[in-house]
Amino acid sequence: MKRKIFVLVSILVVATMLLTACGGRSAANVSGTVTLWHAWKENEIASLNDVIAAFQAKYPNVQVDVLYVPFDDLRGKFETSVATGEGPTVLIGAADWGPAFYDAALIADISEDIDQDLLDTINPAALGAVQYKGALIGLPQTLKGVVMFRNRSIVPNPAATFDELVANAQAATRGDVYGAYLEYGFFFAAGHLNGVGGMLMTPEGDPAFLENGGAEWVALIQRFPEAGPVTNYTDDDVNLFKAGQVGIIIDGTWNTAALAEAIGPDNLAIDPWPAPLSGYVQTENIYLSANATGADREASLAFIEFFLSPEAQALLADPTKAAHIPAISGVEISDRLMQETVAAFAGGAPFPVIPEMGAYWDPMNNMLKLVMDEGADPATALQDAFNSVTAKIAEIRGGQ
């Protein structure tokens, strides 16, 4: 009798281990159909096919149906289809679609379905893009965002602090070569507010910067000219960097390949943010449709979890195919610049994707230009920006 009990307990332990290894779902027992819609490009589709093949090798009883929809049509097609009870079970789409989809009951809250161990591997700044109104409205499946690029042939070493960046830039400035050419346009500079310990907005979207680091943030940006010329939404910094005449710039990861080609990949570096600088981390997300039910829902959740596994993220990171920057830690990456990007994003700031973010762009950028270009009083400019943002948020909410 004792032996039978021992055997039963052993079976239960093994079964529990198998369920845990499969993200809480036994692969052998998961069936159903995953219907996936996306708008990926040809090189990304090559990696997507690899991921689907690896998923089906692990979940042989699951069918995966895939539909490509042009990006300009994807959001509207998804909204219309799901609203009428149809559409896919899984969508890969833009992060800023998520809140509107959730408010319209088109996507599901998966907070009770995703294993905490998986969530713990996701870049915290990226996780912010799928946390909305207390719900987990999807998962970030790749990252992009603002980083600091350095030409190693001009500035040999990275800086640990902003003061050190200034010193390095000044030492490298000679003739027609600038050690640094820093961008202070709001999109590129807003992350520094998080870096100084501040906060742009409350979780609900109301402006918080006036009482939470705004003055320190503006004071930091006012020091940018110490490192060299500054710019606000021009290409002057990027063009001179490509010409080998600038050592350090702040720009988006989407320009990595072009910068590497211009100055040579061995000369290009992506540095961790020197304290207290930071930059916005953006995501592309994977969502579960609110219409997914039964076996199809379980299969789709298994697919979403697998998409965020080290195996799938490594396939998506293939530099010869999708070249996606992993959203999780612990992924084997062969490309040096991608490795450096992941390290830089570890010190990044979450990009707000809620509708209220639309109220911040013009007032905040105008405030920075007034301070930097016209010498306006920072306290007065911040208060004016606060008032303008507050008024614009009222308009946004009034139209909902």
> Residues 71-125: pLDDT tens digits?
999 999 999 999 999 999 999 999 999 999 999 999 999 999 999 999 999 999 9
In a domain, 1, yes or no: no
* Residue 121 sits in the same domain as residue 56: yes
Give the number of other Cβ atoms within 10 Å of residue 390's Cβ.
14
d(Cα 352, Cα 28) in Å, to the nearest integer? 39
Judgement on whether residues 371 and 256 belong to the same structural domain of the protein = yes
Q: Where does residue 390 fall: left (phi above 0), alpha (psi -120 to 50 degrees), or beta otherwise?
A: alpha
User: Are the C-beta atoms of 232 and 374 separated by less than 8 Å?
Assistant: no
Instruction: Look at the chain and report how many structural domains it folds into.
Output: 2
Closest of 61, 28, 66 to residue 47, by C-alpha: 66
Residues 152 and 177 occupy one common structural domain: yes
**Does some domain include residue 18?**
no
Same domain, 264 and 389: yes
CA 74 to chain centroid:
20
* Residues forming a β-bridge with 147: 251
Residues 307 and 256 in one domain: no
Residue 105 and residue 247 share a domain = no
Residue 147's region, left for phi above 0, alpha for psi from -120 to 50, else beta, is: beta
Q: Which residues of the chain have pLDDT under 50?
A: 1-24
Residues 345 and 261 in one domain: no
Q: Is 203 exposed, middle or buried (0-12, 13-18, 19+ CB in 10 A)?
A: middle
Residues 135 and 153 reside in one and the same domain: no
Q: Give the domain extent around 371.
A: 145-281+352-398
Rounded Cα gap, residues 39 and 73, in angstroms: 9
- Collapsing DSSP to helix, strand or coil, 366 comes out as helix
Both 71 and 196 in one domain: the answer is no
Supply the pLDDT for residue 22: 42
The enclosing domain of 157 has a CATH number of: 3.40.190.10
pLDDT for 143: 98
